[in-house]
Amino acid sequence: MIRESVRMVMQELIETEVTEQIGAGRYERTESRTTERNGARPRLVTTQAGDVELRIPTLRKGSFYPSIGEPRRRIDQALYAVVMEAYVHGVSTRSVDDLVAALGIDSGISTSEVSRICAGLG
């Protein structure tokens, strides 16, 4: 259950980051859209909760590599702590957002995204 929670949070952060880079959400039409999603590639990430398989979006034009997957970046421990904090203590979405920001994850995650991520943990 913990591994699935970690996978879900990491996947949501990736989706938020790619949406920000593209300028539009999945199936959303906007004038600010710079490219389209073109499938996804699997990536196995080792965390303290175990190996987690993530789907990294590919783009029609340009490339995308999530900031949480940067080489040698030890974000897994921090994400694990955020997930446990949100799940065990039922902290507010603002607190979770602040925790994510304090970890240095500059994904521009909104409180509504935090609510959606945490809603699936229970």
Share of the chain above pLDDT 70, in %: 61
Look at residue 93 and tell me if it is in a domain: yes
Q: Which domain holds residue 22?
A: 1-59
What's the pTM value of the predicted model, to 2 decimals? 0.56
Tell me: the pLDDT tens digits for 90-104?
777 677 667 666 666
Look at residue 67 and tell me if it is in a domain: no
**DSSP annotation string for the chain:** -HHHHHHHHHHHHHHHHHHHHHTS-TT---TT----EEEEEEEEEEETTEEEEEEEEEESSS----GGG-TT---HHHHHHHHHHHHHH---HHHHHHHHHHTT--S---HHHHHHHHHTT-
Look at residue 46 and tell me if it is in a domain: yes
Can you give the pLDDT at residue 73?
A: 47
Tell me: the pLDDT tens digits for 47-83?
777 788 999 999 999 888 887 766 544 455 556 556 5
Look at residue 83 and tell me if it is in a domain: yes
Q: How confident is the model at residue 40 (pLDDT cuts 50, 70, 90)?
A: very high
